[in-house]
Structure 1
């Protein structure tokens, strides 16, 4: 599997894993959904909001634009249903984004500025992978929040996703 195929696979996995997470999150009442569980961004809502914010930040950077954000804890969607719609929709948008990347872009670097004003120049493909790794990190935090609230944490491991794919697609993502 080449890098572009792997990025396609990770984009599909990202959307799948969020769907699995929301299957559990949707069962929470409003108080538990917003309860501070000691995560980086407090509640499950705060964690999922952060994930949406960062997806906007990185997609803008990867498109050589800037997403206006005041900080990584900025709430960009207070409504629970709308947050789910936006986050899951954004996750599904990574596949067409990745599909459209040309080999030269993937092989190159990306220059961007952090929210703190620091300039970076890093491998473009590694930063696309970072988007999916970052999401995995915070889906894990949301899973811990679910467990702390006495709920089930969904199984979101990549091998479970791969086992759901038809065999002929495993090497042709």
Structure 2
């Protein structure tokens, strides 16, 4: 279904996109970042925090490392402000790269089981499907943030995989 190389490319894309998103968010004021924009997670910063929370949740399931310190209902407060988010995001993106670079085809075989606090039940699904969901979740919420940033008068950014700069594909 997918390969370790797919996960490596998506981790590289994740780093590139989060850097672009961070730059676009930095051009906005804290007020603009926290303004409720009627999105599912409210604001630009709230959605970025939820994305950070979701990435921590999924990656901790796969790499056994630390997960978020809060539950889904508080995911919009994962970082206190943009600077805190940027620091946490950078560290997590490096963790994603390290994890992806160690993946083997065998790591992606079989089922993956976990307890979902959001759904209050156990799940068991193919690992490859769970990996695709993790990367899809990132893309989905970055798209929401892109729309909110541009609606706030900020600058959008290129998101397409074919246009990823070669420097990011080497990480």
What TM-score do the two structures reach when normalised by structure 2? 0.87
Task: Give the deviation of 1:28 after TM superposition.
Answer: 0.3
Other-structure match for 2:125: 122
Out of 104, 107, 115, the residue aligned to residue 105 of structure 1 is: 107
Distance 2:64 2:18 in 1: 26
Q: Is the CA contact 2:21–2:146 (under 8 Å) kept in the aligned structure 1?
A: yes
Distance 1:65 1:151 in 2: 35
Other-structure match for 1:47: 47
Matched, 1:37 2:25: no
Other-structure match for 1:11: 11
What TM-score do the two structures reach when normalised by structure 1? 0.86
SS at match of 1:120: strand
Larger displacement relative to structure 2 (99-108 or 144-153): 99-108
Task: Give the deviation of 1:8 after TM superposition.
Answer: 0.5
Larger displacement relative to structure 2 (94-103 or 61-70): 61-70
Which consecutive segments of 4 or more residues in structure 1 shift more than 4 A? none
In structure 2, relative to structure 1, the CA distance for the partners of 1:113 and 1:156 (3 Å cut) is same
Matched, 1:92 2:79: no
CA offset digits 1:3-35 (Å, max 9, x no partner): 111111111011001111111110001110111
Q: Is the CA contact 1:37–1:148 (under 8 Å) kept in the aligned structure 2?
A: no
Other-structure match for 2:82: 80
Instruction: Note the aligned Cα RMSD (angstroms).
Output: 2.4
Matched, 1:26 2:26: yes
Q: Is the CA contact 1:54–1:72 (under 8 Å) kept in the aligned structure 2?
A: no
Question: Which residues of structure 2 form unaligned runs of 5+?
Answer: none
Aligned residue pairs total: 167
Distance 1:80 1:156 in 2: 21
SS at match of 2:72: coil
CA offset digits 1:71-100 (Å, max 9, x no partner): 254322113201111113212221110122
Q: Is the CA contact 2:63–2:99 (under 8 Å) kept in the aligned structure 1?
A: no
